[in-house]
Chains A and B, each alone.
Chain A
Amino acid sequence: MAYNKNPSDQERLVERAIKDFESALINYAASIIRDQEKAKDIVQETLIKLYQQDPEKVSQSLKAWLFTVCRNRCFDVMRKEKRMTNMDEKTLDVIQDSSDDPRRAAERADQRVQILSFLDRLPENQREVIRLKFEGDLSYKEISDVTDLSVSNIGFLIHAGIKKLRGMLTDQTI
């Protein structure tokens, strides 16, 4: 652990992370794990991990680092949950239902009236890279670092994803 560095650097780093990426990280995690509250837990854990990093090493690639750690943590949690789900699928459903209060859900619903509302219809990999690109504002290269896909693969996924979204939007308006 590298916290014998100047602590204020770490604080600044975490503050920057919260300021710039809190919301995007939560939404990203939620899109993977499909549960807003768990997503927040994961983001919290991600930020806790950030404290343990050497600010000098992380700050250059902060964005990619955050989304990578967040993503890995999502999959960890899902792996663990898969075991749980098999045991008691119903309980989990109930938890998910109550986790989102209706007001917020309504707010979100209002907001997503346009192109975003089709995002969920895309294949998972396209959905993810589009979110990273547009909500997280990551470059192809950074997305590649996060997802372990090649840059050209990402270019293809985003291109295809946007094309599909446009198609759905046109269908809708016609």
Chain B
Amino acid sequence: MKINSEDPRLTAYALGELDQNEVEEFEQLLANNSEIKSEIDSIKSAIDSLKQEFDNLPKEELSDEQKQSLLSRKNIISTRPSTFSKISQWTGISAAAACFIGMGIIGYDSIKKETDQESMNLTTVGQSLEKDSQYQSLKDEYQLDMEKTVEPLLAKKEAKESIKADKEDKERSFTKKLAKNKKVPSPNAASQIADNSIEDDGLRLGLSARSRSINQSIESGDVFLKPLSAAKSLNKIEATKNYEKQKTLEENALDKRPISEIQELSKEEEEASTNNEQYGAYYDSPFVSPLKAPLSTFAIDVDTASYSNVRRYLGRRNQLPPEDAVRVEELINYFDYDYPFTGDKHPFSVHLETASSPWKPGNRIVRIGLKAKEIKTNKRPPSNLIFLIDCSGSMRNNDKLPLLKQSCISLVENLTEDDRIGIVTYAGGAGVELDPIHGDQKEKIIKVINNLRSGGSTNGEGGIRIAYDLAKKNFIQDGTNRIIIATDGDFNVGISDRSQLIKLVKDRADKDNIYLTALGFGEGNIKDHNLEQIANNGNGEYYYIDSFKEGKRVLVDKMSSTLVTVAKDVKIQVDFNPRKVGSYRLIGYANRRMKAEDFRNDKKDAGEIGAGHTITAIYEITPPGSDDQNEVKSKYKKTDNNKAENKYSDLIDSEELLTVFLRYKNPQDKIKDNANEFVVPLTDSGKGWEKSSLDFRFASAVAGFGMLLRNSNYAGEVNFDLIIELASEGIGKDKNGLRKEFVELVKKAKTIKSKSN
């Protein structure tokens, strides 16, 4: 038989589509036919480029709504009670859950204990400490004394919320929901309590602050308590409630409404599902009277991930971000502020400014600005960097691995021979891709980076340990020693238990002085909360890289601040003078608040500050004598106690508005070492915001924007137009154009919002 180039077997052969007999026959035929052989080679190369080009196509994905609808379908089928025995099983689950919820009503303390025990079992000591301190600080701030008289009201408030939540179509984060669910009373109790309605506004406000704080105290435990059976059955209860809804959905296969409740049910199995960006729940601080809690304490935060993530939502996806994706302090700290570094004794200096609130007449805004000492890129100490790169299949999109490579290469171009860099991959890769070599061997490094491929089987074993071991082996004394983990959210780095992972990261930071920075990439899978937490515990920062520009900003422009830590465990405590301050509220830093007494507990971890970093915190304060929204009165307290002279009787005379205390450790200090402390007082000049600095106005605008995006209860009269005005005035020199971009972003948000209304 003769063959020519028209024979389809040529292609079939190249594709391996011929069976064994055909192959043998075919190979005999072409044994001496070099023409056909070369034809086959051309076919093979065409096939290869076709495959590759198809592979390189941007990955198409279903929209979030479509996925939600799919997920809801999954629940219909997986939880559908198709037989009688299943129904009775359901009743059992509901009953069990109701019992558990019942405990929720009995007392907040018992729940607290409950979560404590669970968290002791399931989370690291560090975690439960963090939770404890969050809880404690909230308790301090609000003076949460859960007297028996308050409890029924509290339950009532929550009963109302739970009923409302049923109807709510608003997207809420899983954790927030879970925290809420935990406290949802059983339907009977709920309606019973709801019957005695309360309408007192003041009370309700106070209560909402309470229920929130309780939720929060539970929240940090819950995030890690996925397998918790109680939580599961609670979800199931929610499922019963939604059952009717689901049924309707099922009948209408094309119905693509986002049913957030249903989606949340399935997040329990998020390990395996596909579109699951995950955000922790954050609660805004309320206004607090300094008479009750004069000290406000928090750890600094230099992360900026939240801003680039918000930018992605608004810019690329044309949607408002989920509320809990917005961490206001990260929005504010994304921008550079022109604070000079004046200190010589301390590695950073502090700048305070106060002016009237642009959005609430009578209120004042206080800005605390920190500026760390600059280290020129060419003077930075040598770096020992280990990249730990996620090469799982999901990293293949252009906005993930390719962007990561591009960003890494731009970093490598700035390394010197004193630096060392190594690359370890996890999921899909084979571990050590590049044994640490000196930074001047750029060609070799770039070649390794370019050869990174996503996909393949998961082979995460030990990835993170290998990375730390390499970093330790190549440790540079007085240098920067850092793991840089880059991922779209998967954490199968060899330790599946997240609390253990966090413990490891924390241990290595504390004992070996190897820090960790997290880079988040891509859409659809980002585990925002986890990344933030792991970076936080690793004494590092969390950045979300949404573009090459951002990658360059973080890894090249901000190289010194990203890589070189000048102070660690930086804590801020603000002491407010009750004579001058009616109440105060810290904007943002929701998950950075600390107990007042932990300020001088030098074993307590806090935030790190990199060279040249600026950090800004903003307080809003109400004038003295203004109504205290959280006012609670005990019947044993004299009524005239509120009179000014009594109220202030035990206060010293001072014209100061507040005093800022700062505490930090040097980067090389150990846990047991004592921290340094310094103090900066502030007296209010009484200036209006029209006279405030450009930076002040811009930072206030960003804070206001954050509050709006979070739908904060405290947003007051903030609106998009005001923010655009403030930000435009505050643009200043704007060397990198980021502030202009911000103004555009606000405009975009305004358009999206007005369309959705």
Contact = CB atoms under 8 A, between A and B. Distances in A.
Contacts of B254: 41, 45
Contacts of B58: 104, 107-108, 111
Nearest to A161: B11
A41 B256 CA distance: 9
Given A22-B60, A44-B70, A155-B9, A116 B53 contact: yes
Interface string B1-33: 000011111111001010000000000000000
A165 interface: yes
B80 interface: yes
Nearest to A155: B8
Nearest to B7: A159
Given A15-B274, A51-B77, A159 B69 contact: no
Contacts of A104: 58
A23 B5 CA distance: 33
B46 A116 contact: no
Interface in B58-85: 58-63, 66, 69-70, 73-74, 77-80, 82
Name the residue in B43, B74, B80, B393 with the highest tally of chain A Cβ atoms < 10 Å from its Cβ.
B74
A40 B66 contact: yes
A51 B8 contact: no
A10 interface: yes
A11 interface: yes
A27 B57 contact: yes
B398 interface: yes
B11 A10 contact: no
A27 B61 CA distance: 10
Interface in A143-172: 152, 155-156, 158-160, 162-163, 165-166, 169
Contact of B70 (A47, A52, A116, A152): A47
B63 A155 contact: no
A10 B69 contact: no
Contacts of A134: 47, 50-51, 54
Interface string B555-597: 0000000000000000000000000000000000000000000
A130 B393 contact: no
Given A14-B74, A103-B316, A23 B59 contact: yes
Contact of B82 (A4, A135, A166): A4
Nearest to B57: A111
Contacts of B274: 15, 18-19, 22
Contact of B57 (A22, A108, A156, A165): A108
B253 interface: yes
Given A18-B62, A22-B61, A133-B15, 17 more contacts: A4-B82, A7-B77, A11-B78, A14-B74, A22-B59, A40-B66, A43-B62, A44-B69, A48-B69, A48-B73, A131-B54, A134-B50, A134-B51, A135-B57, A139-B17, A155-B17, A159-B8
Interface of A: 3-4, 7-8, 10-12, 14-15, 18-19, 22-23, 26-27, 30, 36, 39-41, 43-45, 47-48, 51-52, 103-104, 107-108, 111-112, 114-116, 130-131, 133-135, 139-140, 152, 155-156, 158-160, 162-163, 165-166, 169
